[in-house]
Structure 1
Amino acid sequence: MLSGAGQLTAVALLVLFTWINLAGVSRLAQWIDGLTLWKLLVPLLVSITLMLIAGHWSNLSLAMPASGTVVEAIGSGGILFSLLGFRSAMDMAGEVRNPQRNVPLAMAVGLGICLLIYLVLQLSFLVSVPPESLHKGWSQLSLTAHGGPLVALAVGLGLSWVALVLLIDAVVSPSATGMAYLGISARVSWMMGECRLLPGALGRLNSRGVPHWALLSSLIISMLLLWLTPSWQGLVSFLTSTQIIALAMGPVSLLALRRQLPDAERRFQVPCPRMFCSLAFVMATWATSCTGRTALEGAVLVISIPSLMYVLVRSVQGQAMDLKAGLWWGLYLGLLTLDMELFSQGQRWALPTGWHLVLLAGLALAVMPMAVNSALPRASAHALTNLTQPPDPD
């Protein structure tokens, strides 16, 4: 949990990140490029050092506990949150050159590098734990001293310089993510302002082409979230859950748009769309269960309240709404919440991890056809007005 001084420091960092974003995406990229080199080299250097000095390779023969807490750690431990960074390239696509080439390249390379670094880090951790600490099994292992498991291992091995580098990295590495995510959220708000889903002021750009009002609104919301969830684990779980729920709309949208705009030019075309979209929807549904019951229910609440407010305002204004086409979304969120209340770990009818995943897959595959079939037969004229053709590649 953050202390009062810690929260003030976090607010100061948010203001700094906002100032950097206000300078434009090119200046933001310069800052992130410098920090990215650090983020790549430090984990690899630390991992190689721990493996060379400790090297307890016999640890790999010890069985890991088959527990649902392992699955939950993927969401609450920051692994999913880090892997979701691939969407940064997608959200910034409107401000990069030759997006047809660079966006998918950045997504593939970024996700691959992130996965590789995580695997190397996990391997170094597994072989660095002293065998005598595993007499009671992995489930009884506790390495919470000195600021984290890897720092505790480094201190135990007498590698004070490694521990110092890890503590510095814990401050430097998240800074790049903070800068990028603040800019991304502002650009999402800007696009929603352009499409009149949010107040029009959020759709304005300054002289540098930066959505300054949207950026300031993101700063305020970030401060509010920091105050509501002052713990790192709670904040990461909540943000991961909201992002995954948002990503779950992607597969449904792709199939719906294939129906609505069959003759539209597509620079990238997903092969076997029904198969891959169904698989993606199932995996997104699985991922929501990894974040935990509290995070998921909080995310559903945060998504539902503004949605209901939007419906209420549009109703008062007498504007037409295609509510029938969106009922599947409410059903999906309701089923996710009901599943977590009944069948998640610690609940009355908790299911083993394997069977729980089967249930969630069935839920997703049942909702998917309903979602696609309830889509509007044609894209609305208002939506088409706000679409712009991407530039030709250089």
Structure 2
Amino acid sequence: MAQVAAVRGSGRSERQGLQRTVGFWGLTFVSLGSIIGSGWLLGALTAAGYAGGGGSLISWVLAAVMLIVLALIHADLGAAYPVAGGTSRYPAYAFGTFGGFTAGWTTYLQAVAIAPLEVEASLSYVNSVGSVRTTFPLVHTDGTLTGPGVVIGILAMALFAFINLGGARWLSDSNTGIVLWKLFVPVLTIVTLLLIDFHPGNFTANGGFAPFGFHGVFAALPAGVVFALQGFEQATQMAGESVNPKKHVSRAIILAMLVGAVVYIGLEIAFVGALDPHQLTTQGWAQPIGAGDYGPYYTLAIQSGVAWLAVVLIVDAVISPGGTGLIYVGTTARISYALGLPDALTRVSKRGVPVWSVVVATVFGVVFLAPAPSWQQLVSLITGATAIMYAFAPVSLGALMKNDPDREHPYLVPFPRVLLPLGFAFANLIIYWGGFAATWKLALGLLLGQLIFVLAARLRARNLDVGRARALRFSAWMWPWQLGLVVLGLLGNYGDGALKIFPDEWDALVVAVFSVVVYYVAVRQVQPTADIAPIVEEDLHDPDRALTATPGV
């Protein structure tokens, strides 16, 4: 390990370190600001379309329970290992740099796509205003951006980069006001719609409380529900810049997750209750507010005669997704910092900002805007990538509790022997419900990242004392895991290409059993304590955390 430390410390005197300037409320608002984004504008409509009125409520409650379990696990990890880009560092501690890079690569892919996706959602919502749609359309009828929409999107991405270049304190401070607004408007919408136009019968319209059964309830989760609730982990990505990470990170994650869950469940209740019963009777759940309408709450406000709320919603359609995009440009840069990319990308400025990482994240986002499909089409794929990222947390914590037993855990996840395998199963179920087409694409993307790692390691020829077989042994469980998810998706009942061989509603049990088996296999493949401790201590005590090393595979 001495050689590893020597390599990882190279260039330390030449680089500025990330600065610990973010307080508790800054971390809380970073997570909450990520949770309340375009999902609140579009998630309720999508959930109702898949699961019906009452079924959509079950989807939100189920997703909230699943993600709260995963949030508790992240809270434990973030408090015990408060480092920048935590979602990629935890697997690196447990399973070696190959495992860490695989997790970080997935994290990077989903994070870099979210900022442009939020911009696209904002433009789609603004496009629902009649005068915009007819005179200056920003979105085509299929949901993709027009030329003017792409230009405005690029300007928005440039603004995100500018704010992030100001530093973590500037990012968290500017985000605080945005999040307060983002929280105020959904609550205002809930109260207004409940008081002015509420139809309890909508929850059992067109086929009963859950007209599409459990299949519809489960299918709604990766179609927008989980996407809306994700983002709590952003506090762990910035833990390396927290003034008191052992105390603040876990509390920030838990508070943000609970607030987000309450708000989203309230929004679904208000949305379903405010729908026009006649529209539901004639068009069903496929078009509860009208074909091609990307502004559901705006339309409901106009129909209910609340013009002032419609104006507020259009303003918020810019602020809410914009605030989330702002956060993800910043955290994507910090993920690349933790991935161990070359010095040119991870070197930080005097303000403690990985400048070129911010620039690269912005460029990727701009490239993503032009050919991007609609918001609805992208959500399932991004949700699957997020679920893979979340899945690494339970196995990493279980492995680290086994082979890093003396680590202080300021927050300890309750009932770890139950919640850790359960959290891993929850993440895998979200991937499975996303459908076979998304699952095999995600597995291919993961394999691509692993090939990049191998190529980079060979070209850099560092840490050759780490034998390939020994280094890969700790991460060997990942290939059967991904292959198993692809096979389960093929045999399952969700998405294009699925053979629908499993009995409906029993398939979830099959995925859960598979997940528990993989969990215990993975935990047994953890690195030895002698390999874990030096890497963790260097990350925790080296303010620069020169993560430029990519040890040989």
Q: Contact conserved, 1:251 with 1:280, CA < 8 A, in 2?
A: yes
Matching of residues 359-370 of structure 1 within 5 Å: 359-370=510-521
CA distance in 2 between counterparts of 1:6 and 1:379 reads 54
Counterpart position of 1:117: 263
TM-score normalised over the length of structure 1: 0.89
Cα separation, 2, equivalents of 1:164 and 1:73? 29
Deviations 1:18-50 (A, max 9, x none): 110010111111221111121111111122211
Measured after TM superposition, the shift of residue 100 of structure 1 is 2.0
Q: State the Cα distance separating 1:150 from its structure 2 match.
A: 2.3
CA distance in 2 between counterparts of 1:253 and 1:243 reads 16
Specify which structure has the bigger relative contact order, considering alpha-carbon pairs within 8 angstroms and separated by 6 or more residues: 2
Question: Do residues 184 (structure 1) and 341 (structure 2) align?
Answer: no
Once the two structures are superposed, residues 130-176 of structure 1 have per-residue CA deviations (whole angstroms, 9 ceiling, x without a partner) of 22333369545432455333223222223333223222222210111
Counterpart for residue 154 of structure 1: 301
Q: Check conservation: 1:154, 1:160, Cα contact below 8 A.
A: yes
Q: Give the one of 487, 504, 507 matched to 1:356.
A: 507
Shift of 1:379: 4.9
Q: Which amino acid aligns with 1:256?
A: A
Deviation at 1:301, TM superposition (A): 2.2
Q: Which residue matches 1:215?
A: 358
The whole-number CA distance in structure 1 between the counterparts of 2:402 and 2:458 is 28
Q: How many residues align?
A: 386
Q: Which amino acid aligns with 2:488?
A: D
The share of aligned pairs that are identical, in percent, is 32
Question: Structure 1 residues 232, 137: CA separation in 2 closer, same or farther (over 3 Å shift)?
Answer: closer
Match for 1:328 among 477, 491, 494? 477
* Residue identity opposite 1:388 in structure 2: L
Mapping 1:163-178, distance limit 5 Å: 163-178=310-325
Whether the aligned pair in 1 keeps the contact of 2:432 and 2:488 (CA below 8 Å) is no
Equivalent residue, structure 2, for 1:108: 254
Structure 2 residue matching 1:55: 3-state secondary structure = coil
After TM superposition, the structure 1 = structure 2 runs for residues 67-146 of structure 1, keeping only pairs within 5 Å, are 67=213, 68-77=215-224, 79-135=225-281, 139-144=285-290, 146=293
Q: Displacement, 1:343?
A: 0.8
Query: Displacement, 1:352?
Result: 5.4
Q: Is the 8 A contact 1:192 1:203 kept in 2?
A: no
The structure 1 residue matched to 2:528, chosen from 377, 381, 385, is: 377
Decide whether the 8 Å contact of 2:280 with 2:288 is kept in 1.
no
User: After superposition, where does 1:223-372 map in structure 2 within 5 Å?
Assistant: 223-315=366-458, 317=461, 319=464, 320-321=467-468, 322-345=471-494, 347-351=498-502, 354-372=505-523
For 1:375, give the aligned amino acid: V
d(CA) in 2 for partners of 1:202, 1:289 = 35
1: CA distance, partners of 2:181 / 2:503: 40
Q: 1:147 to 1:249 in 2, by over 3 A?
A: closer
Deviates more, 1:138-147 or 1:102-111: 138-147
Q: Secondary structure at the match of 2:527?
A: coil
**In the alignment, which residue of structure 1 is the partner of 2:137?**
none
Which segments of 5 or more consecutive residues in structure 2 lack a partner in the other structure?
1-143, 544-553
Q: Deviations over 1:335-388 (max 9, x none)?
A: 112222221325222545521211110110121111111222235276346421
Letter in 1 for 2:487: L
Offset at residue 307 of structure 1 (A): 0.5
- Does 1:202 find its partner at 2:353? no
User: Conserved in 2, the CA contact under 8 Å of 1:203 and 1:211?
Assistant: yes
The yes-or-no answer on 1:387 pairing with 2:536 is no
- Give the partner amino acid of 1:18: A
Residues 250 and 411 of structure 2 are in contact (CA less than 8 Å); yes or no, is this contact kept in structure 1?
no
CA contact (8 A) 2:235 2:253 kept: yes
The residue matched to 2:145 in structure 1 has which SS?
coil
CA contact (8 A) 2:199 2:275 kept: yes
TM-score, structure 2 length as denominator? 0.65
> What is the Cα deviation at residue 303 of structure 1?
1.9
Q: Which runs of 5+ in 1 are unaligned?
A: none
Per mean C-alpha deviation after superposition, the further-off stretch among 130-139 and 7-16 is 130-139
